[in-house]
């Protein structure tokens, strides 16, 4: 696989995803049951934004660095405050030098009896992930979809974070089949899925498949963050966040995140759409 998340670390899509993850984790902390988070495509844990290979994309400049240079919307303040504190602890007092990925963010906000499992197939990113999260969390060099099905016998509550690179043609189908198989045995399992928005045909076809496969057994919450009209399928025109079995209180919070991200980073014609299937 050629994809490395470091090229896109801290961009608008990361901010939407991580603001949603942080919000969902805070809602789920109120329960007594320990929780296991399975991150199917974990990446390297966190990212050095001064890395010249990553910096040349300038996506962080248009994302997290831009956000931190202005008044931060309320729904994004918890994430912004966390990133600022993480950078201060790392010695970056006046600038954003690192961006925490989902593994580090999740581990920093879990309770002592919660668990985290991060899956990564790239050798280089897996080594970084292992060094950065063990022993607080578990790093596994394996196919995250397969691991998702192997951990279901845990007594813990289950939350799946699914954020594939979409380099493989079967990623859409594997998301759906994995969640179908998980929910068959663990109907209480939750999931948060990130997807790119390029054209509506691909996204709508996947949603129809999801609704057909799991829509009868669970609620599917869909947030579309369109930064521009979806007329050019060769560009990432936005992103989508899809939550399965999310707490009821998550819907208005995800709506606020979606609207604030689109308002902050969108072009003319940008729009946020949130609905329940």
> How far is Cα 277 from Cα 275, in angstroms, rounded to an integer?
7
Query: What pLDDT shows up at residue 153?
Result: 94
Structure confidence by residue, pLDDT tens digits, 13-66? 999 999 999 999 999 998 789 999 999 999 999 999 988 777 767 899 999 999
* Mean pLDDT value across residues 233-259: 95
- The DSSP result for 15-58, as a single string, is HHHHHHHHHHHHHHTTSSS-EEEEETT-TTSEEETT-HHHHTT-
Whether 258 contacts 225, CB under 8 Å: yes
* Mean pLDDT value across residues 168-190: 96
Q: Could you tell me the domains of the chain?
A: 5-276 (3.40.50.150)
Residue 1 has pLDDT above 60, yes or no: no
> How far is Cα 86 from Cα 15, in angstroms, rounded to an integer?
15
Whether 277 contacts 96, CB under 8 Å: no
Whether 63 contacts 14, CB under 8 Å: yes
* Percentage of the chain lying above the pLDDT 70 cut: 99
More reliable by pLDDT, 69 or 50 = 69
Structure confidence by residue, pLDDT tens digits, 102-115? 999 999 999 999 99
Structure confidence by residue, pLDDT tens digits, 126-174? 999 999 999 999 999 999 999 999 999 999 999 999 999 998 889 999 9
Query: What pLDDT shows up at residue 3?
Result: 59
Tokens of 202: 């691909």
Q: Which of 191, 220, 213 is nearest to 39 (CA)?
A: 191
Query: What pLDDT shows up at residue 53?
Result: 72
Residue 250 has pLDDT above 70, yes or no: yes
Coil, strand, or helix at residue 100? strand
Query: What pLDDT shows up at residue 210?
Result: 97
């Amino acid at each position: 696989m050629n994809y490395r998340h470091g090229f896109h670390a801290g961009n608008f899509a990361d901010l939407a995803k991580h603001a949603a993850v942080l919000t969902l984790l805070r809602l789920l902390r109120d329960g007594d049951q320990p929780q296991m988070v399975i991150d199917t495509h974990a990446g390297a844990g966190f990212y050095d934004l001064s890395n010249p290979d990553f910096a040349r994309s300038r996506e962080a400049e248009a994302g997290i660095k831009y956000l931190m240079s202005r008044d931060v919307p309320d729904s994004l303040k918890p994430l912004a405050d966390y990133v600022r504190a993480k950078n201060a602890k790392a010695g970056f007092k006046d600038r954003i030098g690192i961006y925490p990925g989902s593994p580090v963010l999740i581990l920093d906000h879990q309770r002592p009896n919660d668990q985290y499992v991060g899956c990564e197939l790239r050798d280089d990113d897996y080594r970084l992930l292992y060094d950065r999260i063990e022993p607080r969390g578990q790093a596994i060099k394996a196919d995250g979809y397969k691991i998702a099905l192997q951990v279901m016998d845990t007594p813990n509550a289950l939350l799946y974070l699914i954020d594939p690179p979409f380099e493989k043609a079967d990623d859409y189908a594997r998301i759906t089949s994995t969640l179908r198989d998980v929910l068959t045995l663990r109907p209480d399992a939750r999931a948060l899925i990130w997807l790119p928005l390029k054209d509506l045909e691909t996204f709508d076809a996947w949603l129809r498949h999801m609704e057909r496969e799991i829509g009868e057994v669970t609620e599917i919450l869909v947030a579309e963050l369109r930064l521009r009209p979806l007329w050019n399928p060769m560009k990432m025109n936005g992103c989508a966040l899809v939550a399965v079995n999310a707490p009821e209180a998550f819907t208005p919070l995800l709506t606020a995140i979606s609207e604030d991200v689109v308002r902050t980073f969108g072009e003319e014609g940008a729009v946020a759409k949130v609905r329940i299937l």
